[in-house]
């Protein structure tokens, strides 16, 4: 049979007696199992500690990221609110401009009536669908709001481009509309029916005669393009300027022409000189304004005194 105990002998130095200790095998087994249990518990505790430490570190990082995301989300909400408020103001301004210019906007189905609220009604609230933000909105809801803001911004951009084109066209129209005296002098014959100085018959005078000294400057009354520069029957030396929008001006009896066909002219530009060429009784400028080929009274196109 296997021994159930062990004898441990301790032999000291010198003459001391040898000491014997008897250790039961079961005791050694229990001690070994205890040591193994302690080591196992130590290893388990170490693993648990490191896991807890790692979780704590990860939780700290997550908390920091959460705080950062909350701050960014707040900033996004504030920016959305600012953008929304700006778009609201732009839309109201757009409506006012369209009311002034009488431009319609079928996309919004805007009525081009008064922009002020009627009596007994209140003005629209400052906050609209774009500025009503809440602190509990989810990222998904914010993305939806951003999509709507993006669509509205695109629509506003198109609307403002249309208004810009309108005002640019109006600016071009104003620049192309005759508005100043083509020459300084005294009017000897106005637009309308008059007695012909050669035949004494009553005929239609399609322009205005401005008497002035020979060589007096003739100016372009507005922006345009010279479409004719040459002799034309009884009018002698003639210039014709096309101002666009169906408006043309004619200058007759010139002594000198300083521009030629194809030249661009600006309002106030020196283009010719008063003369006495053609069928004329003295130095003067024959000035006509035609709109879509129909003669108009030049005085309607002179804003100067």
pLDDT at 248: 95
Residue carrying the six token digits 């020979």 = 214
Give the number of other Cβ atoms within 10 Å of residue 111's Cβ: 11
| Phi and psi, residue 29, nearest 5° | -65, -45
DSSP-derived letter for residue 14 is T
Fold of 186-301: Glucose Permease (Domain IIA) (2.70.70)
Domain spans of the chain? 5-71, 76-111+131-176, 186-301
Question: What value does the CA radius of gyration of the chain take, rounded to a whole number of Å?
Answer: 50
Beta carbons of 273 and 216 less than 8 angstroms apart = yes
Q: How far apart are CA 73 and CA 136, in angstroms?
A: 10
Beta carbons of 86 and 148 less than 8 angstroms apart = no
Q: How far apart are CA 121 and CA 162, in angstroms?
A: 31
pLDDT at 197: 62
Beta carbons of 254 and 272 less than 8 angstroms apart = yes
Dihedral sign from CA coordinates of 266, 267, 270, 275: positive
Average pLDDT, the chain: 80
pLDDT digits (tens, 9 = 90+) for 116-171: 444 444 444 444 444 444 555 666 777 777 777 777 777 777 777 787 778 878 88
- 19-28's contacts with Cβ under 8 Å and 24+ in sequence apart are none
Write the CB contacts of 180 (distance below 8 Å, at least 6 apart in sequence). 219, 221, 222, 267, 268, 302, 303, 304
Q: How far apart are CA 102 and CA 212, in angstroms?
A: 44
- The per-residue pLDDT string of the chain (305 residues; one tens digit each, 9 = 90 and over) reads 455 777 777 777 777 777 777 777 777 788 888 888 888 888 888 888 888 888 887 888 888 888 888 787 777 777 777 787 777 777 777 777 776 666 655 544 443 333 344 444 444 444 444 444 455 566 677 777 777 777 777 777 777 778 777 887 888 888 889 999 999 999 998 988 877 665 666 777 889 999 999 999 999 999 999 999 999 988 999 999 999 999 999 999 999 999 999 999 999 999 999 999 998 889 999 999 999 999 999 998 998 77
pTM of the full predicted structure? 0.53
pLDDT digits (tens, 9 = 90+) for 273-295: 999 999 888 999 999 999 999 99
pLDDT at 218: 97
Write the CB contacts of 139 (distance below 8 Å, at least 6 apart in sequence). 73
pLDDT at 115: 37
């Amino acid at each position: 049979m296997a021994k159930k105990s062990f004898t441990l002998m301790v032999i000291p130095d010198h003459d001391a007696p040898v000491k014997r200790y008897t250790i039961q095998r079961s005791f050694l087994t229990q001690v070994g199992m205890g040591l193994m249990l302690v080591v196992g518990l130590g290893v388990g505790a170490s693993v648990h500690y490191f896991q807890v430490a790692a979780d704590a570190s990860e939780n700290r990082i997550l908390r920091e990221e959460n705080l950062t995301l909350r701050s960014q989300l707040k900033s996004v909400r504030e920016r959305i609110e600012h953008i929304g408020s700006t778009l609201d103001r732009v839309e109201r301004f757009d409506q006012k401009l369209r009311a002034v210019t009488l431009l319609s906007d079928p996309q919004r189905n805007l009525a081009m009536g008064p922009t002020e609220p009627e009596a007994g009604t209140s003005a629209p609230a400052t906050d609209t669908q774009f500025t009503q933000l809440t602190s509990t909105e989810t990222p998904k809801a914010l993305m939806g709001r951003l999509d709507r803001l993006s669509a509205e911004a695109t629509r506003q951009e198109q609307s403002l481009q249309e208004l810009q084109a309108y005002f640019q066209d109006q600016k071009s129209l104003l620049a192309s509309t005759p508005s100043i005296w083509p020459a300084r002098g005294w009017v000897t014959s106005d637009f309308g029916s008059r007695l012909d100085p050669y035949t004494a018959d009553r005929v239609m005078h399609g322009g205005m005669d401005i008497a002035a000294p020979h060589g007096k400057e003739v100016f372009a009354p507005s922006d345009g393009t010279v479409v004719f520069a040459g002799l034309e029957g009884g009018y002698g030396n003639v210039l014709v300027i096309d101002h666009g929008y169906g408006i043309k001006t004619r200058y007759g009896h010139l002594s000198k022409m300083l521009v030629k066909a194809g030249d661009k002219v600006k309002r106030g530009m020196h283009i010719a000189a008063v003369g006495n060429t053609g069928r004329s009784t003295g130095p003067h400028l024959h000035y006509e304004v035609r709109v879509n080929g129909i003669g108009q009274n030049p005085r309607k196109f002179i804003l100067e005194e």
